[in-house]
Structure 1
Amino acid sequence: LLTQMYFVHSFSTMESGMLAAMAFDRYVAICNPLRYSTTLTNSTVAKIGLAVVLRSGILTLPYPFLVRRWPYCRTNIIPHFYCGHIAVVKLACADIHINSYYGLFNLFSVIGVDVFFIAVSYTLILRAIFHLPTKDARLKTFGTCISHLCAISALYIPDLFSSLMLRFGHNVPLHVLILITSVYQLVPPMIHPIIYGMKTKQIWDRLLQLFTHKDD
């Protein structure tokens, strides 16, 4: 139970960090294209990846310890399909405000920081795009960011709703809470291949061959 909780929350935090790193990649590619290869070297990319992994691992580490400290005298059935932090501690026979506060701190320190860096990156990106000479150039350049923006929306919007509803949605039916949590956990990884594959010519060519072959 604790192991699952740790890795679920750790990977979610890691995904947010990766989206922030990808925003920086888009910023360098669009705003400083001539310095792209010298800025994002293999060493720099490895350091960014290591920082993202370490941050997620360290910030998620208190969750299992906070959960273990409380007595559990109610049912041992978690009303969710995975062992989420708040879902588990709600079964405790104790005051769990510290868990809720740390969960909110983790949520806003991770998502808040990542969204801030993403917003700054895209502000600079949009400013650079608007300075391009032609409309076609602006559309083509902005088109390289569409996949990333879709991935950001797919992660953060369900994440925010899920976290806030679990803490403050006391009058929300249980099946609605489970549905929102399921969307947050399942939808982003399911649609990422679609998001990033839509602009891949080889995938479209292969799909076209499959449908054309069936028609024949």
Structure 2
Amino acid sequence: MFKSLVFVSFLAVALASPIDSGYVSTIEEMFNPENESAICKEESEKFKKCFEVLKEEAQQYSDEPRFPTREEINQSIVEIRQAVECAGEVTCKKLKLTVYIMETAAYAMEQIFGEGYSCLDEQNLKAGLVFCFQSEARMEEVQAGGIEALASKMKPIAKCITGWQDCETKEKNAFYKGAMALADFAEVAMKVAHGVQTEQLGYIQTFDKKFNRADFDKLEL
């Protein structure tokens, strides 16, 4: 289900960007359509209906999630893409941001749990995450550069994690594409979290990026 996709997608972010208790309520307030233009209110209402199932599943997400099965991930991908298709083309920046995050996460899991599945080992992945964070995101660099410095480490971390996986070249390249998409997801998610926590919402309010799978399909180790 969707909660399984959330678990995997936020695994990397959670290690580096703890979220305080007020984060979720602040996010909800940020996406409140009040005081927005008529078109944004209209899009927000449609968006809310299309993503209602995903929201309900996310609210049931456990504090100690188990590692998801391949079937659960595949179902999550279907649900996300159905919701995005239902919402259609959006013009509001906040909704563009949400669509981008959803499509990027779905692509990442499609690659990792699809052709790259033979590379995936839960214990190996967790060990690789810890090692790669420590080796690629050195504390002194992150402290000096702040959130931008940490976000810039996501792709090197993804490449490092891919190198930890024990599988054939073709499967590893698929895993790598997914890992790099997940790194892009993590960069955006971290900047959103930072913006919400500091009440500096410029990044969110000006977001104008569309997901393009060709950007990742062309990647190879």
TM-score band by shorter chain is 0.3 to 0.5
Say which one has the larger Rg.
Answer: 1
